[in-house]
Structure 1
Amino acid sequence: MDSRHPFRSTLAMPVFIPSLMLICGMLIWSIASPGTAEQFFGHAQQIITTQFGWFYTLAVAAFLIGLLGIAVSRFGDIKLGPDDAQPAFSLTSWLAMLFAAGMGIGLMYFGVAEPLQHYLSPPVSTATPAEAAQVALQTTFHHWGLHAWAIYGLVGLVLAYFGFRYQLPLTLRSGLYPLLGDRIHGPIGHAVDVFALVCTVFGIATTLGYGVLQLSAGLGDLTGWDTTSLPFQIGLIAVVMMLAGFSAATGLDKGVRRLSELNLMLAITLLLFVLCAGPTRHLLGAFSDNIGQYVSGMVTLTFRTFSYGGPDQQSWFGGWTLLYWAWWVSWSPFVGLFIARISRGRTIREFIVGVLIVPTLFNLLWMTVFGNSAIWLDMHQAAGSLTAAAGNVDALLFRLLDYLPFPNASSGIAILLIATFFITSADSGAMVVDSIASRGAPDSPIWQRLFWAALLGVTAAVLLATGGLKALQAMTLISALPFAAIMLLLGYGLLRGLQADRLHQRQPLAPATTFWTGQHWRMRLAQLLHQSSATEIQAFISDEVRPALLAVVAELAAGGVEASVIHEPDGKIQLRVQQQALRDFVYGVKCVANAVPAFVLSATNLPGDSQPLQYLPQTFFADGREGYDIRFLRRQEIIADVLKQYERYLSLLYREHGQLLSRAPSHS
């Protein structure tokens, strides 16, 4: 449509319409029969936790190991975009947006609650309260550390790589391009995007539900108002979503970036306040101890499923670790697409380190400061009142702040921080959902982002009104199971794409160009446009290669070096200089048949005589190096190539570090 039209749309209807129908159907079901919906999803959740916990565990482990492997490999040097691309955002702004989009509301909601609850009910037996506190923080670190950001990072890296390097739409379907090819533009691709969009909407709505409950509890604690009523909470959602819509309408560079930087500043302020006003020396020591326990127990934590434990431990595993993995997986389309959009121009290594390490360290510091403060205060000042209130998660952060100086001021900062996290989660979520629904189309109209922001608010309000948050938690676990399988496919597609990228980067010019001066260019072009047969290659070996090798042998003999030319029955030919106790020098040429890819055969603007097999004269050597095509070399150039390889062979003999392979026996 004309971009000047005020009501233009970039929505892809095969994605938009089914997604909207599924979302509306779920909301209608939650309103009409909330009990039935909760019962159904609860039963399905029980089946998944008992039957597929191993799959979640191994999949998340594969995500983390895969990302770390890519970061330390040569693939890490590849840029997310053209080789000359530059990052669109400064490092500080980029890290702030990563932090705000990923776990902001969750950190505020669970920063005090989760360590306290694990302290009261540790997943493994403990002998003392101090040991229980240590296990509680180690478990919390596991849920909010590297594994969580590996889930986000994998999806973000796949989409940023294929979106900016392969110039594909910035949607999930693009990550399956190495597996599906052009079929990503058809029904399979539509289905993948529909699934991602629905999961993203419900995943964000669940988090927004937590946010509004904590925000209303904080306002009630600070002002004394009755904030528990449903009309107040829905009104709070409406106000925050209007602000989120305004931020989304201003665009990524202005709205989200500025709010993200404000979030980071407020979060650091609140973090430093609790660190300084709380048991500072204990917290600093605990941070070091917590990191040590987390890192030393990484392997055990990664693969732990409590298969040898009792029903209580297995129930704990399903209600905590598996639910967290499912929550992060369900959020991964949202966070992955968001961080992909802001990461163009960075190298893969920089992306992985930034996404995996930096937010993780902040999360661990946050959980130490708030979690250890709550446990220490409960032991030494609160006389157990904080652990007694652990069931009231909505207000638990504010109960902690009551035991520190200036509780009203710190609670006010916390409320503002929750509100800004609420806004950034909603507006960045609206942008990402709009990107999925538009198949990555750039410059979508403002009304579409406002529509998605409104839909997120309505979804959160409906679920809050019908008590559907528990049912939605269960649905998160269910929907994340197939998407975890899709993520494994995305990871495999990424490896295939990186291998192809590396091949293109390392592909050298043909050896013939080393000696070519541009003479006889018409003959050279004619050879390029003609696909040789096996008979023609054998004739080339007999007419050009064999005389060249015989000429070299004659000169070697004149210099006192014995050499021979061996022409084998299968058409191979080789010049061999035999050595005693050393590997022989071999320069050989053979006829090789390579299958021509189907997409080349169907091309219309390539040399017209393409056949299913391409025949080439390829070199081979005694040390197992990969050979190369010499079909464009003339006789004198073949002689020069032989001498170049012989000179390389001699130079390696005189180098100490090359003696292992040089002394290896040669077998004829």
Structure 2
Amino acid sequence: MSTPSKARDTPKRDWVVFSITALLSIAFVVWGFLDKEGLKTISADAQGGVIKYLGWLFVLATTGFVVFVIWLAISKYGRIRLGRDDEGPEFRTSSWIAMMFSAGMGIGLMFFGVAEPLTYYVSPPPGTVPPETVEAFKTAMGTTMFHWGLQPWAIYAVVGLAIGYGMYRKGRSQLLSAAFTSLFGDRANGPAGKIIDILAIFATLFGSAASLGLGALQIGDGMKFAGWVGDVGTPILVVIIAVLTCCFILSAVSGIARGIQWLSNINMVLALLLAVFVFVVGPTLLILNLIPSALGDYIQDYVAMSSRTGADGDAALADWLSTWTIFYWAWWISWTPFVGMFIARISRGRTIRQFVTGVLLVPTMVSLVWFCVFGGAAIRRQDQVGDMVTRTIEDGKEVVSVNSTGALFDLLDTMPWSGVTAVLVMALVAIFFVSGADSASIVMGSLSEKGAHEPRKQTVIFWGVLTGAVAAIMLAVGGSTALDGLQSITIIASVPFVVVMLLLCVALYKDLRSDKVMLIESRSSLLVERAVAIGEGSYGDDFDLVTRYSETGAHPIVHAGVEEEVDTGTVDTSKESPEPTT
């Protein structure tokens, strides 16, 4: 037997997809390097335009995704399996949940676990409740859960379902464009499909870069807290980005998947230990009471928060939406190609109902507990001591601000062993990012090499380096408020992919309607209805339906007709089979 050639085993690069995305991404980096102020001005103007004219699209789309996936789960389509009809889940439920957690949360929970609830407590969303009150506490927890609950995971679920159904049910490739086969037909492999894959790479690139930027900001503040550096400016952030980029590139090309999985599992354990530590050392009873209370506030205010836009021309609300809600929706959407593909890969053999239930509910409950532990402890500290925020006077008015990048370290500083826990947080952030960004680089490599499961190392390295470069430019554009640069460019980059995801819902629905399970059910209903109509026409209400063994020996069938020896109407014209099958 001849040995397959190496060339035949080498993945083929899609030069159209790769070249266009590479050139445009490099052009962005060069633009930011040569004209940072120009890029900053244009990105700020574009962000304002997106919020003003397309904010409604983000709000309606994300709410629509929640409704869509829940409807799929409770409808007849919920029993369709991501695989063969007789195929069971590939992973145990406990392992499946653990892998989901590591894929879609990690670095975001570390960054916003303290900062977000505390910010809403001292500066509630415009037009809601007075700051630093009981009502503000409730609003803070409800709003935080709105950003981290059903919405983000419904976004991930749409892409995960579409890719998983296509791969395991239809035998398609893992390209995102392949999920549009039912909508575009053969054009999904042509120009239309290439545009979709290009947009998927852009979304993944800027989403990963935003996460890398957040990680660098938090590690920088941790180093300052530990006394390792003075003020953390752009040069130090760029060095942190370079180190993290080298780490996740080495991880992506080394082939030591087991080692990365081992690191991820350790990271999950360390994150759990950190949460337990804050729970025990912090206001334990408050946290226990806060969990059901925060869940109730989330449910109670869900509709109002889902419909919040800048339609009334309120500049303060529009600014708040761009900083928080719209940024979150854009960030989640930008992560969907990576997280959706990852969730699809680990969900083989599960039904749509099982998939949606697990993907929506489990991460939402984990986020609830996390924010109640860290956010509840920070708000209690601020309420009792008042040292978690900074107060300044601007134009004769008091301005209250939260140090988003250092809020977690500020909280840990009020507890024992703050030096140890600060180092633990920096390690957690670094490993969370490395264990996720390496997979994002592989996904971008796969999308640019026609869905290859193991893209070439040079392709993976290219996308990894470019991710680091984009992150550095995004931080530099923000200047002294680096987080602003991450937010504005992430929002702009995600707009085209919102449209892709809306079309993806249509494509998935068309696929499910023509699934063999649905066709069999439809045909079965038609045949039974026909038999009932014949029976009623002959006997009124006094008849039964019986089955007989097919004369071809193939399948038992339902027949409509008259059985001579039965007084009441029995719909059957068959001969008696040796062993009737019911």
Q: What TM-score range do you get, normalising by the shorter chain?
A: 0.7 to 0.9
Alpha-carbon distance, 1:53 to partner: 2.1
What is residue 53 of structure 2 aligned with on the other side? 51
TM-score (norm. length: structure 2)? 0.85
What is residue 642 of structure 1 aligned with on the other side? 561
For the structure 1 residues 146 and 251, does the alpha-carbon distance in structure 2 shift closer, same or farther, using more than 3 Å as the test? farther
What is residue 28 of structure 2 aligned with on the other side? 26
Alpha-carbon distance, 1:473 to partner: 2.6
What is residue 469 of structure 2 aligned with on the other side? 458
Letter of the 1:386 counterpart:
V
TM-score (norm. length: structure 1)? 0.74
Letter of the 2:188 counterpart:
I
For the structure 1 residues 243 and 317, does the alpha-carbon distance in structure 2 shift closer, same or farther, using more than 3 Å as the test? closer
Unaligned runs of 5+ in 2: 392-399, 528-532, 546-550, 572-582
Question: What does 1:265-414 correspond to in 2, within 5 Å?
Answer: 265-305=269-309, 307=311, 310-381=314-385, 383-386=386-389, 388=391, 390-414=401-425
Instruction: Report the Cα distance in structure 2 between the residues aligned to 1:171 and 1:21, rounded to whole angstroms.
Output: 21
What is residue 99 of structure 2 aligned with on the other side? 97
Question: What does 1:150-549 correspond to in 2, within 5 Å?
Answer: 150-226=154-230, 228-251=232-255, 253-305=257-309, 307=311, 310-381=314-385, 383-386=386-389, 388=391, 390-465=401-476, 467=478, 470-501=484-515, 502-506=517-521
Alpha-carbon distance, 1:309 to partner: 7.7
Alpha-carbon distance, 1:314 to partner: 3.6
What is residue 81 of structure 2 aligned with on the other side? 79
Deviates more, 1:226-235 or 1:346-355: 226-235
**Given that residues 116 and 387 in structure 1 are in contact (C-alpha distance below 8 angstroms), is that contact kept between their aligned partners in structure 2?**
no
Alpha-carbon distance, 1:155 to partner: 1.0
What is residue 551 of structure 1 aligned with on the other side? none
1:11 to 10, 13, 19: 13
Structure of greater Rg: 1
**Given that residues 535 and 569 in structure 2 are in contact (C-alpha distance below 8 angstroms), is that contact kept between their aligned partners in structure 1?**
no
Q: Secondary structure of 1:643's partner? A: coil
For the structure 1 residues 251 and 90, does the alpha-carbon distance in structure 2 shift closer, same or farther, using more than 3 Å as the test? farther
Instruction: Report the Cα distance in structure 1 between the residues aligned to 2:363 and 2:266, rounded to whole angstroms.
Output: 16
Alpha-carbon distance, 1:495 to partner: 1.3
Instruction: Report the Cα distance in structure 1 between the residues aligned to 2:381 and 2:10, rounded to whole angstroms.
Output: 57
Alpha-carbon distance, 1:370 to partner: 1.1
Alpha-carbon distance, 1:338 to partner: 2.1
For the structure 1 residues 45 and 460, does the alpha-carbon distance in structure 2 shift closer, same or farther, using more than 3 Å as the test? closer
1:419-447 per-residue CA deviation (whole Å, 9 max, x = no partner) reads: 11121221121121122112212233344
Instruction: Report the Cα distance in structure 1 between the residues aligned to 2:283 and 2:353, rounded to whole angstroms.
Output: 37
What is residue 394 of structure 2 aligned with on the other side? none
For the structure 1 residues 429 and 649, does the alpha-carbon distance in structure 2 shift closer, same or farther, using more than 3 Å as the test? farther
Alpha-carbon distance, 1:201 to partner: 0.5
For the structure 1 residues 323 and 577, does the alpha-carbon distance in structure 2 shift closer, same or farther, using more than 3 Å as the test? closer
Deviates more, 1:54-63 or 1:231-240: 231-240
**Given that residues 211 and 422 in structure 1 are in contact (C-alpha distance below 8 angstroms), is that contact kept between their aligned partners in structure 2?**
yes
Letter of the 1:503 counterpart:
M
Deviates more, 1:162-171 or 1:225-234: 225-234
For the structure 1 residues 453 and 311, does the alpha-carbon distance in structure 2 shift closer, same or farther, using more than 3 Å as the test? closer
For the structure 1 residues 25 and 129, does the alpha-carbon distance in structure 2 shift closer, same or farther, using more than 3 Å as the test? same
Instruction: Report the Cα distance in structure 2 between the residues aligned to 1:206 and 1:457, rounded to whole angstroms.
Output: 10
**Given that residues 386 and 399 in structure 1 are in contact (C-alpha distance below 8 angstroms), is that contact kept between their aligned partners in structure 2?**
no
Instruction: Report the Cα distance in structure 2 between the residues aligned to 1:88 and 1:135, rounded to whole angstroms.
Output: 40
Q: Secondary structure of 1:112's partner? A: helix
Alpha-carbon distance, 1:111 to partner: 1.2
1:43-70 per-residue CA deviation (whole Å, 9 max, x = no partner) reads: 1221221222222222111100111111
Instruction: Report the Cα distance in structure 2 between the residues aligned to 1:373 and 1:152, rounded to whole angstroms.
Output: 30
**Given that residues 478 and 486 in structure 2 are in contact (C-alpha distance below 8 angstroms), is that contact kept between their aligned partners in structure 1?**
no
1:86-142 per-residue CA deviation (whole Å, 9 max, x = no partner) reads: 544443333233222213211111111111211122124325611111111111110
Of structures 1 and 2, the one scoring higher in RCO (CA 8 A, sep 6+) is: 2
Question: How high is the sequence identity, in percent, across the aligned residues?
Answer: 36
1:218-275 per-residue CA deviation (whole Å, 9 max, x = no partner) reads: 1221243337254443333233223222322355852443233222111111111111
**Given that residues 338 and 432 in structure 1 are in contact (C-alpha distance below 8 angstroms), is that contact kept between their aligned partners in structure 2?**
no
Q: Secondary structure of 1:457's partner? A: helix
What is residue 530 of structure 2 aligned with on the other side? none
Does residue 144 of structure 1 match 2:148? yes
**Given that residues 271 and 428 in structure 2 are in contact (C-alpha distance below 8 angstroms), is that contact kept between their aligned partners in structure 1?**
yes
Instruction: Report the Cα distance in structure 2 between the residues aligned to 1:108 and 1:648, rounded to whole angstroms.
Output: 75
Alpha-carbon distance, 1:649 to partner: 9.3
Instruction: Report the Cα distance in structure 2 between the residues aligned to 1:385 and 1:173, rounded to whole angstroms.
Output: 47
What is residue 543 of structure 1 aligned with on the other side? none
Instruction: Report the Cα distance in structure 2 between the residues aligned to 1:435 and 1:649, rounded to whole angstroms.
Output: 66
Instruction: Report the Cα distance in structure 1 between the residues aligned to 2:489 and 2:56, rounded to whole angstroms.
Output: 19
Instruction: Report the Cα distance in structure 2 between the residues aligned to 1:137 and 1:41, rounded to whole angstroms.
Output: 31
Instruction: Report the Cα distance in structure 2 between the residues aligned to 1:496 and 1:14, rounded to whole angstroms.
Output: 28
Instruction: Report the Cα distance in structure 1 between the residues aligned to 2:260 and 2:563, rounded to whole angstroms.
Output: 59
